[in-house]
A and B are shown apart, each in its own frame.
Chain A
């Protein structure tokens, strides 16, 4: 059962310095209960793609074309009010920095109860607070912490609170944008374990944004690799890690110590392109050791190959 289908999505940031296409012709599907991770270097457009789904693009970001079909309805053509009702109830979001994502002036219980009452207009403040404290318990935080202010909690606890807030209304989809990047290593592992167990318990789908392909390999069902605003490869996680089709995916794996057990780690030469003036042809060709003539001239089109998708001239 498909929960989410993104079709040929284009997203631009139009600034005084010019137009920047941060997501180009992206297509993806995500099944119910499935975990999809999106990996790629910094600036490749991962957050932009993910945040466009619940309508949380930062200005001046705008979807210029394409569709986002969530549970049969196109989110890109919904009104702001319709989207608002979906956010928090059917789609939950966890952000990178738990230190700045909570309102420092209000107790976490107030912040949780407010969201609950927005979506369940029938419930009283007391019921909402009870729900909030149950949600806290479900992420391993004592329920009486609803009375706490954000500054009274540690970074890891705050991220648990953010997760509790994102899942408290049992969403069908959880989007987590680098949820562990701001935390220290041990806390990172705990948070990932928590997310995995919540996904299994609640049967929700997860879209995880990360630049850590080794982390993605541990928890995901599927993986999508982004390079310079494009999805260059997508497929089941085991197949992609074992047998990467796109040279960029291969390079990413070979430069990750946890995945590449050889003595010499690979480093990708050069830098990712400026999205205001991306290279002609395949965007990866200036850094690709398998590049040949057509790569410089023609953009590769995504090709389906044994349940996977890859955009590379090596594959027709």
Chain B
């Protein structure tokens, strides 16, 4: 395990430059965009020049660029992303604290759905390779992959909410239910508060968005698992397991583990993209997460908010890649030694 700890430490250190590069990129891009951000945020409203100057001063936009660069970075490491250009006094970090849990909850739920469906269908297809079942799974994967999220979402809403009346159409929680938002993950919050009514309602709200997103994302897993697992199932070491009389059930587990590395890579990528906010899903289900937040802020031309979200996102990417590296090492001893 000493090898594992050292490996993780090195990985963690390597992530710092990655994140710094991302941060710098975001910073530079935001500055080279033509036009004055304050003017842009105010749109067509007329503001006297003195007041504009005051606003610029207040957001540090008059400082030399390198001062801005380090000042902002110093804020970021303390989880401070500055103040909104549009809503006076509103801290971006507070917005993120409010919106990110919604995205995290949706991400976890749809991740479970997509990995669950993807693994099940992929394993079935690989084990029954060449059969009708295999063909069915492959067709599923292509169809799932090409589905348009708003379309699938509306279909599910039509069937389960409007027609069957089983599930809510939008939002995260019935406004009549009061719940203490400790973590902002409503499912977790209601369990912590032992509020079973809220739990049931939060789950009911979560089902359709996570199903929509999960199904669309599952198709890629089906294909990846099928391809890698069926290769592993005809590999030499599987034949050697068989030659020693190991049962087929256990052989399947070992083969699966050997085909997991590329799957974990994709999980990491998907996780990263999902945490940035699933815009289409969030807008379809009025889910108040990072995706819809970013959309709102772009529309409002809230320069600091957009910058804050993107920088926050690059930190998440760094974090996820560290987790992915850790999982690699747990799976494959050749990496940790």
Contact = CB atoms under 8 A, between A and B. Distances in A.
B333 A102 contact: no
Nearest to B254: A103
Contacts of A114: 244, 246, 250
Contacts, number: 81
Interface stretch (A69-77, A83-91, A234-242, A250-258): A83-91
A100 B235 contact: yes
B97 interface: no
A105 B244 contact: no
B237 interface: yes
A127 interface: no
Contacts of A103: 237, 241, 254, 258
B246 A151 contact: no
B243 interface: yes
Contacts of B245: 84-89, 115, 118-119
Interface in B279-325: none
A165 B250 CA distance: 17
B47 interface: no
Among B237, B247, B334, the most chain A Cβ lie within 10 Å of the Cβ of B237
Interface in B322-337: 331-334, 337
Given A87-B244, A89-B245, A100 B334 contact: no
B239 interface: yes
Interface string B226-258: 000000001111011111111100100010011
B151 to A, nearest CB: 39
A58 B234 contact: yes
Contacts of A119: 245
Contacts of A105: 254, 257-258, 331-333
The 9 closest A-B pairs by CB, nearest first: A88-B245, A88-B244, A115-B244, A93-B243, A100-B236, A87-B245, A101-B240, A149-B333, A103-B237
7 contacts: A56-B239, A56-B242, A89-B245, A93-B240, A102-B237, A106-B254, A162-B240
Interface of B: 234-237, 239-247, 250, 254, 257-258, 331-334, 337
